[in-house]
Amino acid sequence: MAFRFIHTADWQVGKPFGNVAGDSGAELRTQRIRTVQRIAELAAERQVDAVLVAGDAFDSNEVSERTILRTVEALKPFGGTWVFLPGNHDAALAHSVWTRARNMGLPPNIVIADRPEPLTLCDGRATILPAPLRRRREVTDQTDWFDAATSPDGSCRIGLAHGSVANRLPGKGDAANEIRDDRAERARLCYLALGDWHGALRIAPRTWYAGAPEPDRHKANQSGHVHVVDIDAPGAPERIATMAVGHYAWVQLEIELLGRCDKALEALEGIAQDHRTCVVSLHLKGSLSLAERHRLEAELARWEARVHHLEVDMAALLDDPTPDDLDALDTSGFVRLAVERLKARAQDLADPECESARTALRMVYLDHLRIAGWQGS
Ligand SMILES: [Mn+2]
């Protein structure tokens, strides 16, 4: 008996994106619901039997009623079964986003898997074994009960869980919500659908993370997808189609500059995606002349309008004033004398005030350019 479903997780609808101000932040919030609608449309196109959401559909249990309503509306293009598992962000507490959604009245095709008991779907073709989180951090493996769970003969057993697979995830010291890495085998699962890790990843035999369908952070980890999964029969190997559904590209650039700023500008120009959908984090290090820093700042102001959002870290980018920079300072009298003294100190690495002198020179230089600009030269 075959079963086809979409595996997705970590929508985190309602995520505030507090560090992205204004329209750009609002658009990131709105897009998360649009991406849910895209998943519903894909489910209808691919004629799946069900959509399994492996936790953290909502960013928190406190999301607004409007957010809950808009999300439920976005599910409409797919009239088949949706199974929602509570994760750590939307844990099934006594009062949760799920109890609120139920009180608002949900259509019958939306199933909230907030109890650890088997769900039989499609006349027994599939049995879903859910491991809901009932608090943010569970101490024991919530999938333990899968091993002894019963299911009808010939039914595809599919596990649904949220957390970290023991010993398998890179750079994850957090042992909360740990899941055994041999669970799929022990519990005779056709597929273990996981959430919490935001990238698409096969982490153990028949054990997958689908990743977040809409990227939400600067980490190169393959988010922006859902899995369309075919199980041809119990025991048959899973067939996975990884489908891109994300809208925004979160791009991280780390550039070292040596004197000139062109490399940073070329990197921005070279981003392969539509620039309007890019959320860019630009880390700059190395050094620039004062004239080049001035040019860089003007160019970055232009880039801020071209990309969806631009965040620049220049803490590791040092000033290296050239003789030309300093000659450009059109000064006379005692100001000239002060600049000459700052120059001498800025070039003397043994001088304890060397760094302060560089900072002061840079301020003099940039103010000088701005004043020259304002005067309409
Ligand atoms: Mn999570």
- Residue 234 Cα to ligand 1 middle (Å): 29
Does residue 304 register a pLDDT over 90?
A: yes
**Which among 156, 113, 135 is positioned nearest to 9, based on CA atoms?**
113
Count of Cβ atoms closer than 10 Å to residue 2 Cβ: 14
3-state DSSP assignment of residue 65: helix
Binned at pLDDT 50, 70 and 90, residue 65 comes out as very high
For the segment 77-90, the average pLDDT, to the nearest whole number, is: 98
Highest mean pLDDT among 9-13, 174-178, 344-348: 9-13
Give the span between the Cα atoms of 189 and 207, in whole angstroms: 9
pLDDT of residue 320: 82
pLDDT of residue 174: 57
- Residue 283 Cα to ligand 1 middle (Å): 28
Give the span between the Cα atoms of 161 and 147, in whole angstroms: 14
pTM: 0.88
pLDDT of residue 330: 66
Give the span between the Cα atoms of 364 and 358, in whole angstroms: 10
- Residue 367 Cα to ligand 1 middle (Å): 48
Give the span between the Cα atoms of 212 and 198, in whole angstroms: 5
Q: How many residues does the chain have?
A: 377
- Residue 174 Cα to ligand 1 middle (Å): 12
Structure tokens at 279: 């959320």
pLDDT of residue 172: 57
- Residue 281 Cα to ligand 1 middle (Å): 23
For the segment 33-56, the average pLDDT, to the nearest whole number, is: 98
Give the span between the Cα atoms of 275 and 257, in whole angstroms: 22
Does residue 157 register a pLDDT over 80?
A: yes
Ion ligand 1 neighbours (CB, 5 A) are 56, 87-88, 196
- Residue 56 Cα to ligand 1 middle (Å): 6
Output the average pLDDT for the chain.
92
For the segment 284-293, the average pLDDT, to the nearest whole number, is: 92
Out of 183-192, 195-204, 361-370, least confident range:
361-370
- Residue 173 Cα to ligand 1 middle (Å): 14
3-state DSSP assignment of residue 166: coil
- Residue 86 Cα to ligand 1 middle (Å): 9
pLDDT of residue 346: 81
pLDDT of residue 171: 64
**Which among 81, 54, 50, 35 is positioned nearest to 230, based on CA atoms?**
50
Cβ atoms of 131 and 85 within 8 Å: the answer is: yes
- Residue 162 Cα to ligand 1 middle (Å): 7
Give the span between the Cα atoms of 159 and 155, in whole angstroms: 13
Give the span between the Cα atoms of 39 and 213, in whole angstroms: 8
Does residue 40 register a pLDDT over 70?
A: yes
Q: Which parts of the chain fold into alpha helices (H)?
A: 22-45, 65-74, 97-104, 183-186, 262-269, 290-306, 323-327, 333-347, 354-374
pLDDT of residue 372: 65
Domains of the chain: 3-244 (3.60.21.10), 249-374 (no CATH)
- Residue 355 Cα to ligand 1 middle (Å): 44
- Residue 59 Cα to ligand 1 middle (Å): 9
3-state DSSP assignment of residue 96: coil
Does residue 143 register a pLDDT over 70?
A: yes
- Residue 327 Cα to ligand 1 middle (Å): 57
pLDDT of residue 376: 40
Does residue 377 register a pLDDT over 60?
A: no
For the segment 81-93, the average pLDDT, to the nearest whole number, is: 98
Q: What percent of the chain has pLDDT over 70?
A: 95
- Residue 212 Cα to ligand 1 middle (Å): 10
- Residue 343 Cα to ligand 1 middle (Å): 54
DSSP 85: -
Interval 166-193: pLDDT, tens? 877 766 555 679 999 999 999 999 999 9
Q: What percent of the chain has pLDDT over 90?
A: 75
- Residue 284 Cα to ligand 1 middle (Å): 31
- Residue 269 Cα to ligand 1 middle (Å): 34
